[in-house]
Amino acid sequence: MTAQPVRISADEVSPNRKRGGDIRVTLSPVTAGSTSGFGGVMYLDPAEFVTEHYHPYSEEFIHVIDGELEMTLDGEPLKLGPGDSLLVPIGVRHRLVNIGEVKAHCAFHLSPLAPRPDLGHVDTELPTNPQAPNPNVGGAP
């Protein structure tokens, strides 16, 4: 049996606000049956940020669509703007802040999947909203 394409709109996905921003995982093992990674879109209001964390098993790819952002990588700031793409290597601590005056919009993808979902993301800063739901994106079998 051949796998079928899966289309999911960001409007169909609940936002994850646990670590800041409006993060919507659209394509994942849970939502689309993906087997090699997961991704989606993120929106950050001015001065809003995603708390620092790292991924012990996955590279993270960020593609800025709108807005002015600053990604801090292992303590070193890097400015990003529309059309910029960034590869965050495995194990690098990173924190993303909207330093502009308009809502920022990014697309992201992480690959490969961690062996278990609880091993895919390690917080190094307390979540901004610890009571918010943290949707399970799934993981490698």
**pLDDT tens-digit series, residues 6-25:** 999 999 988 989 899 999 99
Instruction: Tell how far CA 50 is from the center of its chain.
Output: 9
Tens digits of residue pLDDT in 53-90: 999 999 999 999 999 999 999 999 999 999 999 999 99
Spatial separation of the C-alpha atoms in residues 84 and 81, rounded to whole Å: 6
Domains of the chain, earliest start first: 15-114 (2.60.120.10)
Tell me the backbone φ, ψ of residue 66, rounded to 5 degrees: -140, 150
53: part of which helix (H) or strand (E)?
A: strand 49-54
Q: pLDDT at position 96, please?
A: 97
Tens digits of residue pLDDT in 26-36: 999 988 999 99
What pTM value is reported for the model? 0.89
